[in-house]
Amino acid sequence: MNRNGAISSGHTDLPIAVDASGGDAGIDVQVEGAVAALKELGVHSTLVGPAADLQAVLEGLGASSLSIGVVDAPETISMDESAARAVVKKPNSSLCVSYRLVKDGQASAIISSGNSGAMMAAGMKFCGMMPGIKRPAIATLIPRVGGRQPSIILDSGANVDCRAHNLVQFAIMGAIYCKCLFKVKDPRVALLSNGSEPNKGTETTREAAAVLSGLDGLNFTGYVEGREVASGAVDVVVCDGFVGNIVLKTMEGCVRLVGEQLEHECSTGFYRRILRRLGRGLYRDVFRNRFDYTAHGGAPLLGLRKLAIVLHGSSDARAVKNAIRVASTFAKAGMTDEIGLQLSALEESSFEDLIGSISEVLPQQLKYEGEEQ
């Protein structure tokens, strides 16, 4: 921590560590994204993965002379591996080596489109957690109509199985993140549920709601339904990673369905083809630049002491480039420092009271496999 109590995330002029072996699309798109980030945005990165393969791709792109670092990491954590076990058994994986670069002050942030569970476990192992936080959460921005402030949903994939005290902590982090990112004074926070009535939801969401309702300083508005996630009804939507990930991918599928149906409808008939040509720019702005996840890059893994950005598993070079951009922007803005500062600003006694109130409401919680026993 610095003298003001914030958690230092390192020098902002350091490169971004890219887990080049993570993701479904292979190392080529990781390298292409890093090259584009340097050429188009002036943001430097360090590619972490099998050095010989990375150098070969750089040479194939005519980019071997660019100031893009390469760090050898011969092992890869696959998508189907047990997260905590893989982090322990593969210390030389591209993910673990990337995190060590951040931990050792050789990179300002890490981005990865690989195993999100391993991303979380490795982050906890190498970087540690912010004060009072037990698990990190992926905070994803949900676009709204026009240029209005996006909504934030967390967790969107890091924690499949959550307890009520995890949801309470996600709500606190989400509110602080919203304040830092959008300068919202009093963000509206709600739990995602299958109805707005107090008796709706699972036992876990009802237990979390009971704690959040009595928490001073948090603008908890109760439950929000799935159809309201992108409506702007609230600023922060809280759920476990299982539900959050399904919400995101369902929304992606709906956007793709609407876009493909419009393409189909406009391809039949002379006048419709003219309409499609006239509206091509509008179509691109809406479906390519606003609702396509590759335009937004990635989402931060909140709760870690260092900056980590999680990408979609099928991210392409455009998504990698934009994730590097997002990581650089957050690093320069001191986002992790600011969230740590605000968490530290919570009086220790009041935070202890919060933890105490959770333990009174909830039964003894079991540790998950990624936590220390």
* Average pLDDT of the segment spanning 61-65: 92
Calpha distance 91→200 (Å, rounded): 44
Whether residue 240 has pLDDT greater than 80:
yes
Instruction: For residue 305, give the nearest of 21, 3, 10 by alpha carbon.
Output: 10
Q: Where are the alpha helices (DSSP H) in the chain?
A: 27-36, 51-60, 83-89, 94-103, 116-126, 164-182, 203-213, 241-265, 270-278, 280-283, 317-333, 335-345, 348-361
User: With 60 as the cut, is the pLDDT of residue 324 above it?
Assistant: yes
| Distance between CA atoms of residues 293 and 108, nearest Å | 23
* Gap between the Cα atoms of 320 and 57, Å rounded: 15
Mean pLDDT of the chain: 82
| Predicted pLDDT at 282 | 59
- The pLDDT tens digits of the residues spanning 7-23 come to 444 455 899 999 999 88
> How far apart are the C-alpha atoms of 260 and 287, rounded to whole Å?
10
CA distance 184 to 218: 12
Strand pairing class (298-302; 137-138): antiparallel
Q: pLDDT band for 153, please (50, 70, 90 cuts).
A: very high
Lowest mean pLDDT among 255-264, 339-348, 353-362: 353-362
pLDDT given for residue 235 in this prediction? 94
The pLDDT value given to residue 1:
39
Split at pLDDT 50, 70, 90, the class of 277 is low
Mean pLDDT, to the nearest integer, of 71-83? Answer: 89
* pLDDT bracket for residue 294 (50, 70, 90): low
- Binned at pLDDT 50, 70 and 90, residue 220 comes out as very high
Residue 92 has a pLDDT of: 94
Q: Summarize pLDDT for 162-188 with one digit per residue, the tens.
A: 999 899 999 999 998 888 888 888 999
DSSP, collapsed to helix, strand or coil, labels residue 72 as strand
Most confidently predicted of 145-154, 213-222, 264-273: 213-222
For 12, the 3-state DSSP assignment is coil
Non-local (6+) Cβ contacts of 88 within 8 A are none
Show the domains of the chain with their CATH numbers. Answer: 1-133+303-364 (3.40.50.10950)
β 140-142/298-302 pair status: unpaired
Percent of the chain predicted with pLDDT > 90: 43
Q: Which of 52-56, 86-90, 225-229 has the highest mean pLDDT?
A: 52-56
Which residues, at least 6 apart from 26, have a Cβ–Cβ distance to it below 8 Å?
Answer: none
Q: Are strands 140-142 and 151-154 parallel, antiparallel or unpaired?
A: antiparallel
Helix axes 348-361, 203-213, angle to 10 degrees: 140
**With bands split at pLDDT 50, 70 and 90, how would you rate the model's confidence at 5?**
very low
Q: Are the C-beta atoms of 21 and 27 separated by less than 8 Å?
A: yes
Residue 107: is its pLDDT beyond 50?
A: yes
Confidence of residue 117 (pLDDT cuts 50, 70, 90): confident
pLDDT grade for 2, boundaries at 50, 70 and 90: very low
Name beta bridge partners: 195: none
Question: Which token pair is 148?
Answer: 């209005």
Bigger pLDDT: 336 or 347?
336
- Burial class of residue 3, CB neighbours in 10 A (0-12, 13-18, 19+): exposed
137 vs 159: CA distance, rounded Å: 7
Burial class (CB in 10 A: 0-12, 13-18, 19+), 203: exposed
Instruction: Give the whole-angstrom CA distance, residue 64 versus residue 35.
Output: 10
